[in-house]
Amino acid sequence: MNSVRIDQEDEPARGLQETVDRDAESPPKSPPAVRRRYGGRLLALVTFLLLAGGLALGAWRAYSRQQQVAEAAEQQRNLVPSVRVARIEPNSGIVPVSLPGTTAAFATASIYARATGYIGKRNVDIGDEVKEGDQLAELAVPELDDQISQNEATLKQLQAALDQAQANMNLAQVTWNRDTKLVDQGWVTKQQGTIDVQNLKAQQAAVGVAQANIAAQENQLEVLRQNRSYAAVVAPFDGTITQRNVDVGSLVQGNSNTGTFLFEIMQTDVIRVGVYVPQDSAFGVEPGVEAIVRVPELPDREFAGKVTRIATALQSGTRTLLTEIDLANPDGALKPGAYCMVELKVPSKSQSVVVPAEALIFNRDGLQVAVVNDGKAKIRKVRETRDLGTKVEVDTGVKAGDQVILNPPVDLTDGSRVQPQSEATAPSK
């Protein structure tokens, strides 16, 4: 037990001795100043190497970028881009123009009362089909009937007065015929002969007055009878009643200025379509130009016709030309007053070609297109005459058969080399 304890107590001493022996064997350490000088040089060397490496890397990268730019520029100079082209064809000479229009009846009449009275009979109503001469209504005109009766009686009185004047004239003629021989023989004084002659002339004048009175009365009676005939309201032409403003028992006035509006009648077997053509198309419109009328509510039908008449003069306010088209309407499918679209086949008055809208170039130099010629792009200025939506009609700068570049690149310049792709066609209108 004692020997073990002694060994444990000697254990720290042996460890301390081993430490002293190791320290004796290691070389002596440098002073602190020497260590700091060596560390600073080493840090400067590392910093220099890093800076030099960074500069070299930056220079190498700049050189690489410059080489890439040069190679890209060279490649760009040698690159021949492929472009889509379309061949221009001449205008067909017919320009379709679609414009809004309005349908109207071929003939419309507003029927007013020509006589004053009450509606005694009404024979038609709205929507009724009538023929020319059909009676639409009958007026009761008792005052006018009374005037006719009174004037007929006056005419009879005047005829009786004429008969009396005629008898007196005949008597005066007989008296003069008898006395004229006696005056010549001296049996009757010349004074008496003069009286007989003047009496005959007076009776002849009386006959003339009576005849004139009868003629005036007959004329007045004719006017009354004519007014009486207006009591029968008749249709002026074949058509349809579109308005009815009176009924049986209604009082109507026959004044020419304030006459009562009775009916409206329209002739609908032929429809008149009116359209206002703008100035850029008006100079090609003339009677006979083909037209197609479409009504939105009748999508499955087209009504073909031709321009029937034009107004000749443009309206100064809108610069449009009133144009009318007559359409047969036997089944009544077209209604007057409806909105419609009118397509006119207007002959073109100028020589032009049609260019796709996607070939146009807009810049400060105006409207241009790029034409392919011998593998090079040629920029040409054009003048637009009509905008057709996806196509544009031009009359200068290009001609039929030229190939225009579609969607030309932004950097395309005059003289640039290009490679046309498979050709598309710009159809004429």
Q: Provide the pLDDT for residue 50.
A: 82
Q: Provide the pLDDT for residue 255.
A: 77
Which range, of 2-16, 112-126, 176-190, 334-348, averages the lowest pLDDT?
Answer: 2-16
What is the average pLDDT across 424-429? 47
With a pLDDT cut of 70, the percent of the chain lying above it is: 85
Which own/partner contact pairs does 418-421 have at CB distance under 8 Å and 24+ positions apart?
418/80, 418/81, 418/82, 418/83, 418/372, 418/375, 418/376, 418/377, 419/80, 419/81, 419/82, 419/83, 419/375, 420/82, 420/83, 420/84, 420/85, 420/372, 421/82, 421/83, 421/84, 421/85
Q: Provide the pLDDT for residue 405.
A: 86
Determine the Cα–Cα distance for residues 13 and 165; give it in Å rounded to an integer: 194
> What are the domain boundaries of the chain?
2-57, 82-89+351-426
What is the average pLDDT across 47-61? 82
What is the average pLDDT across 270-290? 92
Q: Provide the pLDDT for residue 320.
A: 95
Q: Provide the pLDDT for residue 135.
A: 95
For the stretch 135-193, pLDDT in tens is: 999 999 988 889 999 999 999 999 999 998 888 888 888 887 777 767 776 676 777 77
Look-up: residue for tokens 């350490």? 29
Asked if residue 426 has pLDDT above 80, the reply is: no
Q: Could you tell me which CATH number the domain at 82-89+351-426 has? A: 2.40.420.20
Q: Which helix (H) or strand (E) holds 406?
A: strand 403-406
Out of 95-99, 297-301, 396-400, give the one with best mean pLDDT. 297-301
